[in-house]
Structure 1
Amino acid sequence: MKKVVFVLAAAGLMSLAACSKQTPAENSVDATANALDNAGENLEDMAENTSNDMAADALGNAAENAHDAADAVEANKS
């Protein structure tokens, strides 16, 4: 009976150990992607709040580029 309990306990601990935690590099990638997305959101807000159409277009393009960069960072995560 003790062997069965030991095996079950070991299996439980191994399953917990198998849970993957992010490495510092993965955390950095996530933080970078989040920062780029936030910058894109801020640029979109600025574009909505400006009365200059040319500036709004430029800010909208910059926001789109920031979101694309965030997507690229996430895509190259692995």
Structure 2
Amino acid sequence: MKRILAGTAAVAVMSLAACNSSPREQAADNIEANAERVADNLEEAADNAPTEAAEDRLENRADAARELGDKKAEDMRTNDPDTNLSNGM
């Protein structure tokens, strides 16, 4: 049920984002959506983890995946791709 809801939400967000947005904005939205899918899969695995410690590790990885996706998407939105200002090149 969670997967269906998350998948539906991701599709809805991507559909709305595709309207009147630049290719960079679309790429940033895709980065966020992919990170969200990874995090959702990790949380699903956490729900089925055999121990509480394993569950905690998987939930921490899910949080990290979301945070990294958000950072990469923000970087895509705010930095000039031709100069790679964010990585100093």
**TM-score calculated relative to the size of structure 2:** 0.55
Runs of 4+ in 1 over 6 A off after TM superposition: none
What fraction of aligned residue pairs are identical, expressed as a percent? 25
Moved more, 67-76 or 52-61: 67-76
**TM-score calculated relative to the size of structure 1:** 0.62
Gaps of 5+ in 2: 1-18, 79-89
Once residues 27 and 70 of structure 2 are traced to their aligned partners in structure 1, the CA distance between those partners, rounded to angstroms, is: 14
1:27 corresponds in structure 2 to 26
Once residues 64 and 38 of structure 1 are traced to their aligned partners in structure 2, the CA distance between those partners, rounded to angstroms, is: 12
Gaps of 5+ in 1: 1-19
CA root-mean-square deviation? 1.9
Q: Which amino acid aligns with 1:38?
A: R
Task: Answer 1 or 2: higher relative contact order, Cα 8 Å, separation at least 6.
Answer: 1
Once residues 36 and 48 of structure 1 are traced to their aligned partners in structure 2, the CA distance between those partners, rounded to angstroms, is: 18
The structural deviation recorded for 1:74 is 4.2
2:61 corresponds in structure 1 to 62
How many pairs align? Answer: 59
